[in-house]
Amino acid sequence: MMQRLAKTGLCILTVSALASQAFAAPIDLPSGLPNLVGVGIGSTTEYSGGKQRMLGVMPGLRYETDSGRLLEWYGPYAQYNFGNTTGWQWGPAVSLRLGRNNVDDAVVSKIHDIDTTVEAGGFFGYEYIHSEGLPYRLRGGASLTTNGGMVYNGARLNVSGSFWVPVSHKVVLGTGLGASWVSADFNRTYYGVTAADSAASGLAEYQPGGGLQQIYGWIGALVQVTPNWYAGALVFNQHMMNAAADSPIIRERGERDQLTYGLGVGYAWH
């Protein structure tokens, strides 16, 4: 039952990929599933730390090759698993990091623009499925990616864990937690205020260091609509921490809590 219901995880994840604006997008589908494709629509902040909101649409794909390798692509994030579909998992990861330009905030719009860029690195994790009694599933892991100096120097480390459990033959509930550590140059790029920025915007000059950038959590619900079609809903919140949260971009013009929510649909085939 858990594997059948968990197909709808694709719908949740295509929506949660919108949260990549705040640098976290949990990849969370269990093993033993058919190929999946889906799309999610949701609301998130216009940029990391911002207050203004936007609507977005994100695709999702889960595809298992004939050799048993697994490709997962959710919105701006993709990973390819060279390990097992359950147990230990590892492989390369690529992410599209959205920038900051033409924002609605009249003050933040005077701060340096940030180009959209590509991050690359790898992931490592473990998945456990409890098949006796209540068929719950646990998954945890970490990813390390870098921009290679195209927009920022240094790297970003993300750790996350999730728990899914069915509450009926057609409904499964899930929750997850995570945290992100970033380099000093990452924080200076996305949350810093240069001397020129300060003169143009009136915000105080700010050059943050690196460290724990955020903690986050999410809850989701999945529903089987027909044998092949599924629907889901998600609420996802990032809480900005330490040097990032102390930035005048967030402290004076934005919000520490970055909320993403939305709906998704997905189609499964063998």
229-250, pLDDT tens digit by residue?
A: 888 888 999 999 999 999 999 9
For residue 64, pLDDT over 80 is answered with yes
Q: Which residue has the higher pLDDT, 38 or 256?
A: 256
Burial letters 111-122, b for 16+ CB under 10 A, else e:
beebeebebebb
Q: Which of these, 31, 11, 129, lies nearest to 75 by C-alpha position?
A: 11
d(CA 171, CA 76): 27
Identify the sign of the CA torsion 233, 162, 191, 115. Answer: negative
What residues pair up with 90 in beta bridges, in sequence order? Answer: 124
In tens, the pLDDT along 85-137 reads 788 999 999 998 888 999 999 999 999 999 999 999 999 999 898 878 788 88
In the prediction, which pLDDT does 33 show? 55
Phi first, then psi: what are they for 133, rounded to 5°?
70, -130
- Higher pLDDT pick, 25 / 106: 106
Domains of the chain: 2-269 (2.40.128)
The label of the residue with tokens 């300060």 reads 198
At which residue do the structure tokens 């579909």 appear?
85
Using alpha carbons, select from 84, 99, 97, 33 the residue that is nearest to residue 61.
33
State the pLDDT at residue 75. Answer: 76
Q: Average the pLDDT over each of 71-75, 162-166, 179-183, 233-237 and give the range with the smallest value.
A: 71-75
pTM across the whole model: 0.86
For residues 129-148, give the mean pLDDT: 88
Q: CA torsion angle for 43, 48, 49, 52 (degrees, to 10)? A: -40
